[in-house]
């Protein structure tokens, strides 16, 4: 079955019955959603993480680069790709080099030669630091001046996780 959409032909892989069911009420075919590219998702997550570390809203970032907060939201989810020039603008506003957004990206070589399958993988760290609790904890922890107290907190948290594993 051939479908015409905005003057272009598309070959439908659906059965004729399913093809009819997939049309909208106006008769135009629906387009299946594509899942975000893992690198686009990673870059968007790094934008979100740095924006949140700075305490900046999506609206404020959008204003600084001439976009709506909805577009920033789409970038952060990886739904829309960020062009090279736009990524440079975002990097300037967030005060990081462009390479920051690609650190630990899937399929790209790591900046460090140590590969690890531990729970400290870049993805888990990025996910944690993309949350309000993660950012609050990181900010509070870095304000602790005494190294001995920081080490004690780390040991305490490690002990707590050992109890959960048993």
Indicate whether 165 belongs to any domain: no
Residue 166: inside a domain, yes or no?
no
The reply to whether 14 falls in a domain is no
- Does the residue 9 lie in any domain? no
**More confident: 16 or 42:** 42
Quote the number of domains for the chain. Answer: 1
Helices (H), 10-146: 16-21, 38-53, 58-65, 69-77, 84-94, 122-129, 132-142
Q: Cα separation of 77 and 95, whole Å?
A: 21
Residue 46 in domain: yes
Cβ contact 126:104 at 8 Å: yes
Region 139-163: what's the mean pLDDT?
A: 87
CA 40, CA 34: separation in Å to the nearest integer? Answer: 13
Tell whether the torsion through CA atoms of 112, 104, 115 and 128 is positive or negative. Answer: positive
Structure tokens at 70: 């909805």
107-122: pLDDT as tens digits: 776 554 344 444 445 5
| Angle at alpha carbon of residue 149, lines to 148 and 153, rounded to 5° | 120
d(CA 99, CA 165): 36
Give the C-alpha separation, 20 to 109, whole Å. 46
| Cα atoms in the 13 Å half-sphere on the side-chain side of 100 | 18
Q: Is residue 65 part of a domain?
A: yes
**Residue 138 has what pLDDT?**
85
Which of the residue ranges 3-7, 17-21, 47-51 has the most confident prediction, judged by mean pLDDT? 47-51
Kindly report, residue by residue over 37-62, the tens digit of the pLDDT: 889 998 999 999 889 888 899 999 99
Give a yes or no: residue 32 inside a domain.
Answer: no
* Domain that includes residue 100, residue range: 38-107+121-152
DSSP tag of 104: T
Secondary structure class of 105 (helix, strand, coil): coil
CATH number, position 140: 1.10.260.40
Say yes or no to pLDDT of 72 above 90. yes
Instruction: Let me know if residue 114 belongs to a domain.
Output: no
Residue 72: count other Cβ atoms within 10 Å of its Cβ: 27
Percent of the chain with pLDDT over 90: 32
Dist. CA 45–CA 113, nearest whole Å: 23
Q: What is the pTM of this model?
A: 0.57
Percent of the chain with pLDDT over 70: 69
For the chain, what is the radius of gyration of the CA atoms?
A: 22
């Amino acid at each position: 079955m051939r479908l015409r959409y905005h003057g272009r032909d598309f070959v439908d892989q659906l059965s004729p019955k399913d093809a009819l069911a997939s049309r909208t009420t106006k008769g135009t075919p629906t387009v299946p959603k594509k899942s975000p590219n893992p690198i686009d998702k990673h870059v968007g997550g790094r934008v979100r993480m740095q924006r949140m570390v700075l305490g900046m809203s999506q609206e404020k970032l959008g204003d600084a680069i001439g976009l709506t907060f909805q577009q920033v939201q789409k970038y952060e989810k990886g739904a829309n790709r960020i062009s090279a020039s736009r990524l440079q603008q975002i990097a300037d506003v967030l005060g990081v080099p462009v390479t920051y957004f690609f650190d630990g990206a899937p399929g790209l070589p790591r900046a460090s030669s140590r590969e690890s399958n531990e729970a400290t993988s870049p993805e888990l760290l990025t996910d944690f630091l993309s949350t309000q609790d993660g950012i609050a904890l990181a900010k509070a922890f870095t304000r602790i001046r005494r190294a001995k107290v920081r080490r004690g907190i780390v040991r305490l948290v490690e002990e707590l996780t050992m109890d959960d594993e048993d």
